[in-house]
Amino acid sequence: MSILEVKGVNKRFGGLQALGDVNLSVAENTVHAIIGPNGAGKSTLLNCLVGKLIPDTGSVMFDGQSVLGRAPYEINQMGISRVFQTPEIFGDLTVMENMMIPCFAKRDGAFEMNALTSIRSQRDVLEQAEAMLADMNMIDKREMLAASLSRGDKRRLEIGMCLSQQPRLLLLDEPTAGMARADTNNTIDLLKQIKDERDITIAIIEHDMHVVFSLAERITVLAQGTPLVEDTPENIKGHPKVREAYLGESA
Amino acid sequence: MLGLTKRDTILLLVVAALTLFAPFILNPFPEGSAMAQFNAGYPDLMQRFVIFGIFAVGFNILFGLTGYLSFGHAAFLGVGSYSAVWMFKLLSMNVLPAIILAVIVSGLFAVIIGYVSLRRSGIYFSILTLAFAQMSFALAYSVLTPITNGETGLQVYTDDPQYLMGPDSPTVTNLFGLEMRATYTLDLGPWSFDFNAGYYMCALIMLIAVYLSIRIFRSPFGLMLKAVKSNQQRMNFTGLNTRPYTLAAFVISGMYAGLAGGLMASMDPLAGAERMQWTASGEVVLMTILGGAGTLIGPILGAGFIKYFENIFSKINDTVLHQWFAFMPDGLEDFMVFLVHPFIGKGWHLTLGILFMLVVIFLPGGLVEGGQRIAAWVRGRKSAKADTATSKTEPAE
């Protein structure tokens, strides 16, 4: 059964057809990769899923409910978390504070006027945040400022923050972009572990074929705003249309 | 204590001790001595210290935590003052209803201005708040004359209704009979210390205001406000709605400003439109940045610092300077007076401006950062001594 249904989505920026009649179905508890050359519309599609952009036509259903017209925070509260291409974390706050914020968001909702309760008394949130930091192997960095972390650790922290909301769908936008090989492999291991240990659906946009073929169970190839093929990794590898779209880029 | 950590409790106790003993601390020089003009322990000025302290502490909840720079906070100060004076005109000279109404009205006012201004962030937010404050100023100055008494300013007249006024009620501002201007003067040899009822009431209210501000800083709500400043994108994609958080911070800081305005009117039952002018809004920004935006104690330090300069440096004139440099040969004396002259009296803004620039350039964290650096330096010297004694090494990671 599919958790995310995209049907007939179109998006135009002036004269540019960024997305043309995109249909996509992501099955529950799978890892679904969306690949394609630069400018294929991958990020535009992702932005349409999380409420950053509104498609001109078409529908986006998450778990039977439409996400269109909802604010990003509402879509997140429905159960979709997003990891950005450059890690979006709270740089001025400590790692522990970074981890507490999604825990509060999960517990208290989009807004809570708890101005006179002390953070120290919120044991449930503190425990949850610490457990997640331990899972991410970052417990020794808890008092560090998030901005001072290495690129790989920032990514780990961001993924941990998304996971601590217990989302049903995790969207990853080129999670290994600009990473060294070792960091990339660490991230792949982390994502594999997440996939094995949790009931979670992962949709991933990626350029790095090594990452895609290590993780994905289904792959959709996007070219010029339209899905070319959707299939298993084995079938995608030798698909002539895919080779044509990449035109030597990965061949 | 009171739900605070040990460090925060100590901080609050230090502030409490400083305000309690302010009449002594601010009057270190004997009456009639050459240095007596640096004494700041007279009731008027002490009241202003704590009132502007409240104003800056409230402003810091908005600017220090969320990073939204409001250039229109004086509007709330003015609204608070007008509301308070109206209570004096309608009820009696008791300050309690005046202060309560000042906080409520400025809070409502903040909801309206905040709701509109917070649709934008950054420089556009600042400009919107500035526009609102200037509109309020213009309204108070001319259009709303029936309510604000225009350029004369609102004051209490003998033919005002004052429905709660008994035949023997005090005709000056008071708290259930305790007159705000009541002052006990303690003479100790050449020293003289003033203990003023109004000052102590304001000081008590400031302590409550500081306590609430500490609680807000340490709450999940305060953490969310810091998150707004740090990364709004991540907040939105973490299921948090930034709008009500920023609006709540704006309203709280508006209420603090209204409280300060109400207290100003309670000390001196007047309210004029100039209290809402943009220079007054700018002043609280300076106070907060000078003291240290986003720190608990910084805004109070900044407020005290600026008010001290405004009231003490502005009073030094050339006659005083000639006294100071009297020991020098005539030509040199005149030259020194000529050199220092632009920085004193009406030129105190120049001195303040230079100090402000120095702080912003060399201590971006304000006076608080200066204090931390000194503390770290002292501790560093101590631990350097301890280190050579034990020559302890940290294990490398």
ipTM of the predicted assembly exceeds 0.90: yes
Rounded Cα–Cα distance for residues B231 and B228 (Å)? 6
In a domain, A144, yes or no: yes
Predicted local distance difference test score (pLDDT) of residue A6: 94
Share of chain B above pLDDT 90, in %: 69
Tokens of B86: 């109206």
Q: Are residues A152 and A113 in the same domain?
A: yes
Tokens of A88: 């979006």
In a domain, A193, yes or no: yes
DSSP summary character for residue B193: E
Partners of A116 on chain B (C-beta within 8 Å) are: 212, 215-216, 219
Predicted local distance difference test score (pLDDT) of residue B392: 42
Torsion of CA B301, B305, B307, B312, to 10 degrees: 150
Q: Is the pLDDT of residue A251 over 70?
A: no
Mean pLDDT of B147-171: 88
Mean pLDDT of A164-190: 90
Q: Are residues A122 and A143 in the same domain?
A: yes
The domain containing residue A141 runs over which residues?
89-166
Instruction: State how far the alpha carbon of B56 is from the alpha carbons of B45, B49, B207, B218, B291, in Å.
Output: 16, 10, 13, 18, 10
Which of A112-116, A163-167, A195-199, B313-317 is the least confident region?
B313-317
Rounded Cα–Cα distance for residues A171 and A183 (Å)? 19
Q: Is the pLDDT of residue B123 over 60?
A: yes
Predicted local distance difference test score (pLDDT) of residue B248: 97
Please classify residue B295 by burial: count the beta carbons closer than 10 Å to its beta carbon, then call 0-12 exposed, 13-18 middle and 19+ buried. buried
Mean pLDDT of A213-221: 92
Q: Are residues A162 and A175 in the same domain?
A: no
Please classify residue A41 by burial: count the beta carbons closer than 10 Å to its beta carbon, then call 0-12 exposed, 13-18 middle and 19+ buried. buried
Q: Is the pLDDT of residue A74 over 80?
A: yes
In a domain, A84, yes or no: no
Q: Is the pLDDT of residue A247 over 80?
A: no
From A128, A151, A166, give the residue that closes a domain.
A166
What confidence tier does B56 reach under pLDDT thresholds 50, 70, 90? very high
Summary mean pLDDT of chain B? 91
* B239–A102 CB contact, under 8 Å: yes
Predicted local distance difference test score (pLDDT) of residue B389: 55
Q: Are residues A201 and A132 in the same domain?
A: no
Residue B135, phi then psi, degrees to nearest 5: -65, -45
Q: Is the pLDDT of residue A204 over 60?
A: yes
Rounded Cα–Cα distance for residues B306 and A140 (Å)? 43
From A123, A147, A166, give the residue that closes a domain.
A166
Task: Flag whether residue B230 sits within 8 Å of chain A, measured between CB atoms.
Answer: yes
Helices marked H in chain B: 6-20, 22-25, 43-60, 74-90, 95-117, 122-138, 145-148, 197-217, 220-230, 232-236, 242-267, 278-291, 298-312, 318-324, 330-340, 348-362, 366-390
Rounded Cα–Cα distance for residues B80 and B94 (Å)? 15
Rounded Cα–Cα distance for residues A154 and A156 (Å)? 5
Q: Are residues A108 and A214 in the same domain?
A: no
Mean pLDDT of B373-379: 92
* A73–B224 CB contact, under 8 Å: no
Q: Are residues A71 and A171 in the same domain?
A: yes
From A125, A142, A166, give the residue that closes a domain.
A166
Q: Are residues A97 and A160 in the same domain?
A: yes
- Our measurement of the distance from residue B246's CA atom to the centroid of its chain's CA atoms, rounded to an integer in Å, reads 21
- Our measurement of the distance from residue B118's CA atom to the centroid of its chain's CA atoms, rounded to an integer in Å, reads 24
Rounded Cα–Cα distance for residues B352 and B48 (Å)? 18
Which chain A residue is nearest to residue B219, measuring alpha carbons? Answer: A118
Predicted local distance difference test score (pLDDT) of residue A218: 93
Which chain B residue is nearest to residue A163, measuring alpha carbons? Answer: B238
Torsion of CA B78, B83, B84, B87, to 10 degrees: 160
Instruction: Give me the residues paired with residue B186 across strands.
Output: B193
What is the SS3 string spanning B14-41? HHHHHHHCHHHHCCCCCCCCHHHHHCCC
Rounded Cα–Cα distance for residues B364 and B341 (Å)? 29
Q: Are residues A75 and A179 in the same domain?
A: yes
What confidence tier does B395 reach under pLDDT thresholds 50, 70, 90? very low
pLDDT digits (tens, 9 = 90+) for B266-287: 999 999 999 999 999 999 999 9
Helices marked H in A3-113: 42-50, 72-78, 95-108
- Going from N- to C-terminal start, the domains of chain B cover 41-275
Mean pLDDT of A152-170: 94
Q: Is the pLDDT of residue A250 over 90?
A: no
How many angstroms away from the CA of A238 is the closest CA of chain B? 37
Partners of B215 on chain A (C-beta within 8 Å) are: 115-116, 118
Predicted local distance difference test score (pLDDT) of residue B388: 60
Residue type (1 letter), A189: D
Which of A142-156, B160-174, B210-224, B231-245 is the least confident region?
B160-174
Rounded Cα–Cα distance for residues A175 and A168 (Å)? 18
Predicted local distance difference test score (pLDDT) of residue B1: 64
Q: Which residue in B237, B241, B246, B250 has the most chain A C-beta atoms within 10 A of its own C-beta, making it the best mutation to test that interface? A: B237
